[in-house]
Amino acid sequence: MTTAVHQAGQTMEPREFKSDLKPIWCPGCGDFGVLQALYRALSAVGRPPHEIAFVSGIGCSSRIPGYTTAYGFNSVHGRALPIAQGIKIANPDLLVLVAGGDGDGFSIGGGHLPHAVRRNLDLTYVVMDNQIYGLTKGQLSPTSHRGLQTVTSGYGSLEEPVNPLLYTLAYGAGFVAQGTPADMPGLTSVIEEAIRFPGFAFVNVQSPCVTFGEAEWQLKAHKAQMKSLAGLGHDPADRLKAMALAAQYGEELYTGVFYRNPNPAPTYDALVVERQAELRDQALPRERILDLFRKDGGR
């Protein structure tokens, strides 16, 4: 037997995660590459589809759960993270992934993000950041750069964009990375790492909108301009350096892991299981649960 191939320990093929539903994204959309990277990352992780739940909000990229054979919930605009947290707490054994776009995650759902990060549930949040509202035909999004002309900013945006990398680092996320479908091995690798990280993991994917995005910021431009953090010698355990690099969002396209907490904190879902174990002796038997709602507390 040869030793030329370094085994990753996987047992599933990427195609086992692919559903029969055909993506209806515009040809050339960056999301096709993200979906392919997800299939490969899940294959490498090796958990079968019935042990995985995929939650999304609304938007082009939020169609992703339907394109996988995992459990899927294409939910309400901006509410993917609260729903995913509920699923994870109810069934901590599930591998829970969250997907969506920059509008869904940083505008409509922007208030949920810091709380999901600080609770530190073991979730992987993949945002397909295209700097535009594509599904609704090209309005300004929270990550659109200042000066961008769209149908809702005809003379150019007056706003500074959200910086997803810096925000999530500042909120305290234990794992923050960025990828682009222009670098499929790199994107697959950061998604796999994010899934394996024990805690809230955030992956910002620069996934250009081929129809309403800027013509000069498509995947060919990514290929020409992306810079690998590993290639720059960045130490992902250095949070302050990660923040300095993340501050260049919109100016530089860094790919790879910005920050990986070398001593991950216990996850909320693990703490809930612990608390349940501690309080098991004090719990009322199931048939007496309704007594809690009586004035005398069932005494």
Partner 1 sequence: MPIQHVDLARLSLQDALDLATLVEEEAHERYLELADQMDQHRTPEAARFFRFMAENEAKHGAELAERRRALFSDAPREVRRTMIFDVEAPDYDEARAFMTARAALDIALRCEEKAHAFFVEALPHIREPQVQALFAELRDEEVHHQELVRREIARLPADADTSGEAFVDDPAAQ
**Which of 17, 38, 43, 63 forms a contact with partner 1 (CB under 8 A)?**
43
Burial label for 114, CB within 10 Å (0-12, 13-18, 19+), is middle
Cross-strand bridge partners of residue 211: none
Which positions ≥6 away from 80 have C-beta within 8 Å?
Answer: 55, 56, 57, 62, 98, 99, 100, 104, 105, 109
218 binds partner 1 (CB under 8 A): yes
Comparing CB distances to partner 1, the nearer of 154 and 297 is: 154
220 binds partner 1 (CB under 8 A): yes
224 binds partner 1 (CB under 8 A): no
**Which of 76, 170, 184, 243 forms a contact with partner 1 (CB under 8 A)?**
184
Strands 175-179 and 254-260, sheet pairing: antiparallel
Q: How far is the CB of 187 from partner 1 (least distance, A)?
A: 10
- Here the tokens at position 141 are 């999004």
DSSP label at residue 234: -
Maximum CA pair distance of the chain? 72
48 binds partner 1 (CB under 8 A): no
Neighbours of 264 (CB within 10 A): 16
How many residues touch partner 1 (CB under 8 A)?
Answer: 46
**Which of 164, 181, 199, 213 forms a contact with partner 1 (CB under 8 A)?**
181
Comparing CB distances to partner 1, the nearer of 175 and 212 is: 212
Binding residues for partner 1, rule: CB under 8 A, are: 1-8, 10, 13-15, 22-30, 32-33, 36, 40, 43-44, 136-139, 150-152, 181-182, 184-185, 188, 208, 210-212, 218-220
